[in-house]
C-alpha cells in the first residue's frame, strides 16, 4: 500500500480549518491517496464520549471524514499491534503509537502535526510534519 496515513488531529483540522495546516501537509492531503485508520475513529469516539471533542455524532464523523478526505479506511490488524512492541518509548499516546506502527507495516507516510512523532523517522517509517 502507498499513500498518506492521516493522524487524527490532522484529519480533524483538514476538515474544520485546513488553512491551519502547514503547506507541505496541506499539499500531501490534497494530492493523496489518503488513508484513515479505524484507530482514529476509535480515538474520536472516545474523546467525544468524554466531552473533550465536539464533532457532532462521532458515528457519522467516520463516514463523513472518509468521504470528504477521499480516504481509504485502514483496519487494525495483529501485525500492526505487534509492531508497537518494536517502537522505542518516545511517545506516550497509545493511539499515535499504533498509527506509527500501522504506517510502518503498511509502507505509508504518516502525516502529523505532533512534534514528537518525527523522532521515530527511519528507513521503515516516513513522516511529514
Please tell me the CATH superfamily of domain 4-128, with its number: 5'-nuclease (3.40.50.1010)
Whole-number pLDDT of residue 124: 86
Torsion of CA 59, 60, 64, 66, to 10 degrees: 20
Whole-number pLDDT of residue 87: 94
The predicted model scores a pTM of: 0.95
**Mean per-residue pLDDT, 7-12:** 97
Q: Grade residue 123 by pLDDT with cuts at 50, 70 and 90.
A: confident
Q: Grade residue 79 by pLDDT with cuts at 50, 70 and 90.
A: very high
d(CA 101, CA 69): 22
**Mean per-residue pLDDT, 94-117:** 96
**Residues of the chain by 3-state class (helix, strand, coil), percent to 5:** 55, 15, 35
Q: What is the DSSP string of 52-99?
A: S---SSHHHHHHHHHHHTTEEEE---HHHHHHHTTS-TT---HHHHHH
Question: Quick check: 51 pLDDT over 70?
Answer: yes
Helix (H) or strand (E) holding 39: helix 38-50
Amino acid at each position: 500500500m502507498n499513500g498518506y496515513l492521516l493522524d487524527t488531529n490532522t484529519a480533524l483540522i483538514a476538515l474544520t480549518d485546513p488553512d491551519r495546516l502547514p503547506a507541505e501537509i496541506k499539499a500531501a492531503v490534497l494530492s493523496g491517496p489518503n488513508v484513515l485508520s479505524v484507530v482514529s475513529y476509535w480515538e474520536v469516539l472516545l474523546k467525544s464520549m468524554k466531552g473533550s471533542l465536539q464533532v457532532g455524532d462521532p458515528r457519522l464523523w467516520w463516514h463523513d471524514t472518509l468521504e470528504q478526505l477521499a480516504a481509504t479506511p485502514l483496519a487494525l490488524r495483529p501485525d500492526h499491534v505487534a509492531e508497537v512492541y518494536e517502537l522505542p518509548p518516545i511517545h506516550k499516546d497509545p493511539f499515535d503509537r499504533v498509527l506509527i506502527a500501522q504506517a510502518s507495516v503498511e509502507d505509508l507516510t504518516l502525516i502529523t502535526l505532533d512534534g514528537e512523532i518525527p523522532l521515530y523517522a527511519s528507513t521503515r517509517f516516513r513522516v511529514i510534519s
